[in-house]
Amino acid sequence: MKIFEFCLMALIAAAPAGAVPTGAAGGDTNAAPPAAPAEVPSSPSAPATLPRFIYGTAGEKYPYYAGLPKELLPYNKIEPYERFFITRMPFRGPGRDYPPPPDLKSLRIGLLDSPKYGPNWDRSVRTREGVVLAMEEANRGRQPGDLPFELVEREGMAQWGGAANVTSDLADDKVLGFLGTIDGAEAHVALRVTLKTEIVMINTSDPDPSLTETMIPWLIRVFPDQRLEEAKLAELIVHRFGCRRIAILREGDRYGRLGVHSFMAFARRLGCPAVQELLFKPGGSDIRHQIAAIKDSQPDAIFFIGEPDDIGRFAKQFRQEGIQARFFGTNLLMDDRFLQNAGEAAEGMTITYFFDLARQDPLWGRFVARFKERWGHEPDAYAAYAYDGAQIMINAVQRAGPNRWRIRDQVCNLDFYQGVTGWMQFDAIGNNIAPVPLARFEHGRWVFEPEPEFSPSVAQR
Amino acid sequence: MNTQSAPSVRAIARIVFVCSVLPGFAAAARAATTPADTAALPFPLVERFENFGEKDGLPSHKVHSVLKTKDGKLWLGTNNGLCLHEPDGKFRCYGSKDGLSHPTVLWMAEDPGTGDLWLATMQGLSRFSGGQFTVFTQTNSGLPNNVVYAVAVIDDTIWAATAAGTGAYHLKTKSWNIYDQNNTVMEEPWCYSVAAGNGVVYLGVWAGGIVEHDPKTGSFKAYRDPDGDFQFQLTPDSGPIVDVTSGVAYGDDILWQSTYFGLSRYDTKQATWRTWVQDKTPLVSNFINTVFARGRVAWLATDRGASVTDGTSWVNYLVDENGRGVVRIYRPGQEPETRPMTTALVDGFVTAIWADDHEAWFATSNGVSHGVFSAPTDSPTVASNP
């Protein structure tokens, strides 16, 4: 089975007249486009930025279960009656031949922010910075007569279902597509509305694996999800470190519940079911009973899921109680609040993280410089993925024109995209399943584990 | 009114269609060499479609819901208002300026006692009574959330499935109850559908399967995907096909669950499940927007046309690559039969269906189709028990 038909890339996404990219958006505006992998032919008539966008082909087969090893798959010794998510879900409705909205004065792209004062607000601010930078760069590259891009921001509501109201508002705002949001529950609720409003959504920061598993063909996610992170960690803990007694301390909320689900299953399939799974209240401080129970279980590995300030505080308490087990966590721990609260207990913490923020490749380096010039500080992963997500949306609008259904086709048919965060690979349901690297806190700094650089050519092999 | 097939060209849909329907035409060719099967189906067969769209006065291409009320009036919930199909064939439409809470009307239900129309919209629940709208929102009432996906009238209670739980508005006391993750077995409060069962209420819950509620006892029971994973269906006929429910409908002891992964059917008397997926059964598409039940028959609104089934026999209404109507008939133990139709559904992306013994109406993403049934000799009204 041939998985990726590069030779047909972009052919199914022919841009309508007048919607040809201007060259501003779609990547690194101040630099020559990066060399495309040799396997990726570039159409002679296509803009130079096109190799960054590699589209799928009809009927293409995609990696099952995020391409994870068979030993991590559920019921992996039998063939299920039916497998889903192995071909891309089409949108079969009308709309692609609808005329542009009348009296269009701008190309509106929505941004669903997180609620202020909630745990994700800081991440939402950084997300916004990435989106705004991409929009500003795109507008600088517009030609006379081109409609400008316009960002339509809506702040989420700190209540269940609030994102549904806001997403409905975005439809009333006549956005052509939107980005957001961070919280898994909000993203789910927003996604449900998109099926009714038929406005494509690019998620840049929600790690909830189930978000994309709803079969709604109006979504992609550029942000690696918890399943990828936890598969990597489970294999690391069991196979490489040889740990057999894994204890889990997690937040007692939806994030923690969904976050632990995949990890528990992976550990069990590897023959090491968790010896403890204990919860804590976000923001809480007294976990004496959890520590005592975990200590009694004599763990050789502890997996933490929670906000960085909480986990930093608890990691320190574990060490103070004499627990010597190896510490593992998720990307949230790459945060100063974790280091401040954990102190020396941070040493040896191993986490998954999306990419090395200190890496030296030119695409990332130029993005960091532009971002720093615009915002006065360096970007983090949230800002970078938001920038990439906004670039994908901008490119889709430029290629498709102001038609929501054709924009959806552009967004949801992506197989690969090379952004400032690196190469992404999208599966059948729009997940970015590019490998997630490991980072370990050693001698006062995060050290990334060297890995082969991921690119379409590597994936194809 | 347009009785011709949908004229627009949609290349992608056609490619998909050709791939899916070619086997059917092969079967039809085979059927042409054998005597045509005239065995009666356990439900009516649509003979032709009468189509209506924007050119006929609909305010939007997209129609989300369709309902024929007891007084014989046909109502359409569109992306741009509530529309009544007048006897002269014109559409009289109501929007926000008339008091409707939001122009996007996702679902409708009639109060059989009063004739009031209850409307699920993108920004609140509306009641249309005596030509006037009353709006219920999460700020002026006990409605859990303003995005209301479905509504049902069950005895003296209005049930509204919203993005943050199901709200129950008691008409006699004018009081509300909210059912969500705090007081039921729902893991998430995202409700998508609601249907009356035999003394119970069924809630179609996004990522929560189906929740059965007995208002008399206050009890809740969840029906969940037994394999617990979205990526596959481990075994057929073992429970809800998946926990992401797009719709529920109930008739004659049969509960139907529509999903974007296929169809599930629960016989509440026998406590047995059956499931269907497109690749292995006659189901026309896994992507089922809504399900409408009449008796023991389900009418399925899918993204690739409409399916009708009692669980044993199937009829699929498709639109071919040239916009022509095609009907495929599956009878137990027989080869599928494919027939061309004189007319087609106005669009293959069907969002909702309403049917009785005499006619069917199909809401689609590009207008509405009226299904005119064939002669009654081929359409008994009571389905067999599969």
Phi, psi of B65 (to 5 degrees): -150, 155
Structure tokens at A335: 């945060």
| Segment (H or E) for A365 | helix A362-375
In CATH terms, the fold of domain A64-70+91-224+359-435 is: Rossmann fold (3.40.50)
ipTM: 0.88
Between A37 and B261, residue with greater pLDDT = B261
Q: Which of B10, B147, B235 sits opposite A94 (nearest CB)?
A: B10
Q: Are the Cβ atoms of A213 and B244 closer than 8 angstroms?
A: yes
Mean pLDDT of all residues belonging to chain B: 90
| Segment (H or E) for A279 | strand A276-280
Q: Please, what's the b/e burial string for A223-258 (b: 16 or more CB within 10 A of its CB; e: otherwise)?
A: bbbbbbbbbbbbbbbbeeeebebbbbbbbebbbbeb
Distance from CA of A142 to the nearest CA of B (A): 31
User: Which residues of chain A make contact with B9, given a CB cutoff of 8 A?
Assistant: 97
Q: What is the pLDDT of residue B376?
A: 61
- Number of residues in chain A: 461
Residue B75 has pLDDT above 60, yes or no: yes
CA pair distance B82, B132, nearest whole angstrom: 13
Please, which residues have CB within 8 angstroms of residue A8's CB and are 6 or more apart in sequence? Answer: A55, A57
Distance from CA of A84 to the nearest CA of B (A): 5
Q: Are the Cβ atoms of B244 and A160 closer than 8 angstroms?
A: no
Query: pLDDT tens across A126-164, in order?
Result: 999 999 999 999 999 999 999 999 999 998 877 778 888
Could you tell me if A156 and A205 are in contact, meaning their C-beta atoms sit under 8 angstroms apart? no
Q: Which of A83, A90, A162 sits opposite B232 (nearest CB)?
A: A83
Structure tokens at A138: 């795109």
Could you tell me if B176 and B168 are in contact, meaning their C-beta atoms sit under 8 angstroms apart? yes
Among candidate residues A359, A309, A379, A366, the one with its CA nearest the CA of residue A339: A309
Q: Are the Cβ atoms of A168 and B106 closer than 8 angstroms?
A: no
Residue carrying structure tokens 């194809």: A460
Nearest residue of B to residue A194, measured between CA atoms:
B122
Q: Which of A90, A162, A165 sits opposite B16 (nearest CB)?
A: A90
CA pair distance A327, A423, nearest whole angstrom: 29
Between B36 and B289, residue with greater pLDDT = B289
A335 Rama sector, left if φ>0, alpha if ψ -120 to 50, beta otherwise: beta
DSSP state of A104: -
Could you tell me if A231 and A224 are in contact, meaning their C-beta atoms sit under 8 angstroms apart? no
Give the right CATH number for B11-378 from 3.50.50.60, 3.40.50.1100, 3.40.1050.10, 2.130.10.10. Answer: 2.130.10.10
Distance from CA of A137 to the nearest CA of B (A): 33
Kindly report the pTM of this predicted structure. 0.88
Structure tokens at A382: 């949230």
CA dihedral A361, A362, A364, A370 (to 10 degrees): 150
CA pair distance A202, A284, nearest whole angstrom: 33
Q: Are the Cβ atoms of A92 and B190 closer than 8 angstroms?
A: no
B138 Rama sector, left if φ>0, alpha if ψ -120 to 50, beta otherwise: alpha
Q: Are the Cβ atoms of A196 and B12 closer than 8 angstroms?
A: no
Q: Which of B190, B227, B347 sits opposite A192 (nearest CB)?
A: B190
What is the band of B31 on the pLDDT scale with cuts at 50, 70, 90? very low
List the Cα angle A186/B141/B179 in 5-degree steps.
55
User: Which residues of chain A make contact with B13, given a CB cutoff of 8 A?
Assistant: 92
Q: Which of B149, B190, B231 sits opposite A84 (nearest CB)?
A: B231
User: Which residues of chain A make contact with B12, given a CB cutoff of 8 A?
Assistant: 58, 90, 92, 96, 409
Q: Are the Cβ atoms of B349 and A64 closer than 8 angstroms?
A: no
CA pair distance A64, A84, nearest whole angstrom: 9
User: Which residues of chain B make contact with A188, given a CB cutoff of 8 A?
Assistant: 188, 190, 206-207
User: Which residues of chain A make contact with B286, given a CB cutoff of 8 A?
Assistant: 84, 215
Residue B27 has pLDDT above 50, yes or no: no
Residues of chain B with pLDDT > 90, as a percent, come to 84
Count CB pairs under 8 A between chains A and B.
Answer: 155
List the Cα angle A357/A359/A365 in 5-degree steps.
90
Distance from CA of A417 to the nearest CA of B (A): 23
Task: For residue A93, give the amino acid letter.
Answer: G
Q: Are the Cβ atoms of A213 and B64 closer than 8 angstroms?
A: no
Range A227-352 classified under CATH 2.60.40.3950: no
Could you tell me if B274 and B311 are in contact, meaning their C-beta atoms sit under 8 angstroms apart? yes
Distance from CA of B244 to the nearest CA of A (A): 7
Q: What is the pLDDT of residue A47?
A: 43
| Segment (H or E) for A441 | strand A438-442
Distance from CA of B362 to the nearest CA of A (A): 14
Could you tell me if B69 and B16 are in contact, meaning their C-beta atoms sit under 8 angstroms apart? no
Could you tell me if A317 and A383 are in contact, meaning their C-beta atoms sit under 8 angstroms apart? no
Q: Are the Cβ atoms of A92 and B366 closer than 8 angstroms?
A: no
- Cα-based distances in Å from B40 to A322, B294, B351, B378, B381: 78, 18, 28, 5, 11
Domain boundaries, chain A: 64-70+91-224+359-435, 227-352
Q: Are the Cβ atoms of A189 and B190 closer than 8 angstroms?
A: yes
CA pair distance B318, B261, nearest whole angstrom: 19
Residue carrying structure tokens 């004659």: B252
Distance from CA of A179 to the nearest CA of B (A): 19
User: Which residues of chain B make contact with A165, given a CB cutoff of 8 A?
Assistant: 123, 145-147, 163
CA pair distance A291, B290, nearest whole angstrom: 49
User: Which residues of chain B make contact with A428, given a CB cutoff of 8 A?
Assistant: none
Q: Are the Cβ atoms of B122 and A171 closer than 8 angstroms?
A: yes
Q: Are the Cβ atoms of B164 and A85 closer than 8 angstroms?
A: no
Residue B34 has pLDDT above 60, yes or no: no
Q: What stretches in chain A show pLDDT beneath 70? A: 1-50, 458-461
Distance from CA of B17 to the nearest CA of A (A): 10
Could you tell me if B107 and B98 are in contact, meaning their C-beta atoms sit under 8 angstroms apart? no
Among candidate residues B49, B55, B81, B36, the one with its CA nearest the CA of residue B324: B49
User: Which residues of chain A make contact with B347, given a CB cutoff of 8 A?
Assistant: 93-94
Distance from CA of B260 to the nearest CA of A (A): 6
Nearest residue of B to residue A189, measured between CA atoms:
B163
Q: Which 3 state secondary structure label does DSSP give A448?
A: strand
User: Which residues of chain A make contact with B164, given a CB cutoff of 8 A?
Assistant: 159-162, 164, 189
Among candidate residues B3, B41, B2, B15, the one with its CA nearest the CA of residue B327: B41
User: Which residues of chain A make contact with B145, given a CB cutoff of 8 A?
Assistant: 160-162, 164-165
User: Which residues of chain B make contact with A164, given a CB cutoff of 8 A?
Assistant: 145-147, 162-164
| Segment (H or E) for B214 | strand B209-214
Q: What is the pLDDT of residue A460?
A: 54
Q: Are the Cβ atoms of A188 and B304 closer than 8 angstroms?
A: no
Q: Please tell me the number of Cα atoms within 13 Å of A388 on its side-chain side.
A: 29
Query: pLDDT tens across B344-385, in order?
Result: 999 999 999 999 999 999 999 999 999 999 976 444 444 444
What is the band of B137 on the pLDDT scale with cuts at 50, 70, 90? very high
Q: Are the Cβ atoms of B164 and A185 closer than 8 angstroms?
A: no
User: Do A64-70+91-224+359-435 and A227-352 share a fold?
Assistant: yes
Nearest residue of B to residue A216, measured between CA atoms:
B260
Distance from CA of B349 to the nearest CA of A (A): 5
Give the distance, in angstroms, between the CA of residue A420 and the centroid of all CA atoms in the same chain: 13
Q: Are the Cβ atoms of B349 and A97 closer than 8 angstroms?
A: no
| Segment (H or E) for A227 | helix A226-235
Between B223 and A37, residue with greater pLDDT = B223
Nearest residue of B to residue A195, measured between CA atoms:
B289
| Burial of B351: CB neighbours in 10 Å, binned 0-12, 13-18, 19+ | buried
